[in-house]
Chain A
Amino acid sequence: MSEVNAAEMTTSVWSGGASPYAVDSKKFGMWLFIISDALTFSALLIAYTYVRLSSPQWPTPFHFFPSIVFSSIMTFCLLSSSLTMVMAVHAMSHGNRKSTVRWILATMAGGLAFVVLHATEWRNLIVNEHMTTRGNEWNEPLFGGTFFALTGLHMTHVILGVIYLGVIAFAVSRGKFKAIDVEVSGLYWHFVDLVWMFIFPMVYLLSAKL
Chain B
Amino acid sequence: MHTENPAEVSGASTMTFGKVWVALLVLTGVEVFLAYEQLPTLIMLVSFLGLSIVKAAMIIAYFMHLKFERFSLFLTLFPMLILCILLMFISMPDSQRLLHMRPPQ
A residues touching B (Cβ–Cβ < 8 Å)? Answer: 19-24, 28, 31-32, 35, 38-39, 42-43, 46, 49-56, 68, 72, 75-76, 79-80, 82-83, 85-87, 89-90, 92-94, 139, 179-180, 183, 186-187, 190-191, 193-194, 197-198, 200-202, 205-206, 208, 210
| Complex contact B2–A22 (CB within 8 A) | yes
Q: By the criterion CB–CB under 8 Å, are B32 and A205 in contact?
A: yes
Report whether A53 and B35 are in contact in the complex, using a CB–CB cutoff of 8 Å. Answer: no
Interface string of B16-32 (1 = CB under 8 A from A): 01100100110010011
Contact B99 A54 (CB under 8 A): yes
Q: Using a CB-CB cutoff of 8 Å, which residues 27-54 of chain B contact chain A?
A: 28, 31-32, 34-36, 38, 41, 44-45, 48-49, 51-52
Which residues of chain B in 51-68 are interfacial with respect to chain A, using CB atoms and an 8 Å cutoff? 51-52, 55-56, 59-60, 63-65
The residues of B that contact A210 with a CB separation of less than 8 Å are: 36, 38
In this complex, what residue of A is CB-closest to B31? Answer: A201
User: What is the CA–CA distance of A208 and B59 in the complex, to the nearest angstrom?
Assistant: 26
Let me know if A72 and B32 touch, CB within 8 A. Answer: yes
The reply to whether B59 and A49 contact each other, CB–CB distance below 8 Å, is no
Do A200 and B35 have beta carbons less than 8 Å apart? no
Residues of A within 8 A of B38 (CB): 210
B73 touches A194 (CB 8 A): no
Number of B interface residues, CB 8 Å?
54
Find the A residue at minimum CB distance from B102.
A56
Residues of B within 8 A of A194 (CB): 55-56, 59-60
Residue in A31, A42, A46 whose beta carbon sits within 8 Å of that of B77 in the complex: A31
Q: Are A82 and B48 in contact (CB under 8 A)?
A: no
Q: A46-B92, A79-B21 are contacts. A205–B48 as well, Cβ < 8 Å? A: yes
Bound CA span A208–B91, Å: 26
Known: A86-B63, A198-B52. A179 touches B6 (CB 8 A): yes
In the assembled complex, which residues on chain B have CB atoms less than 8 Å from the CB atom of A200?
28, 31
> Please, which residue of chain B has its CB at the minimum distance from the CB of A204?
B35
Given contacts A94-B7, A206-B44, contact A201 B51 (CB under 8 A): yes
* Chain B residues positioned under 8 Å from A42 (CB to CB): 84-85, 88
**B55 pairs with A202, CB closer than 8 A:** no
Which chain A positions have C-beta within 8 A of B98?
A: 54
- Nearest CB in chain A to that of B1: its residue: A22
Contact between chains at B6 and A190 (CB < 8 Å): no
A to B CB contacts below 8 Å, 18 in the list: A21-B69, A22-B1, A22-B70, A46-B88, A54-B98, A54-B102, A68-B32, A76-B28, A83-B17, A83-B63, A86-B17, A90-B10, A93-B6, A197-B24, A198-B52, A198-B56, A202-B49, A210-B38
Q: Are A87 and B99 in contact (CB under 8 A)?
A: no
Contact A79 to B64, CB < 8 A, known contacts A46-B88, A194-B56, A202-B52: no
Chain B residue, CB-CB nearest to A57: B105
Apart from A22-B69, A51-B95, A92-B6, what are 10 other A-B pairs with CB-CB below 8 Å?
A23-B2, A23-B69, A42-B85, A56-B105, A82-B59, A83-B63, A194-B60, A197-B55, A202-B48, A206-B35
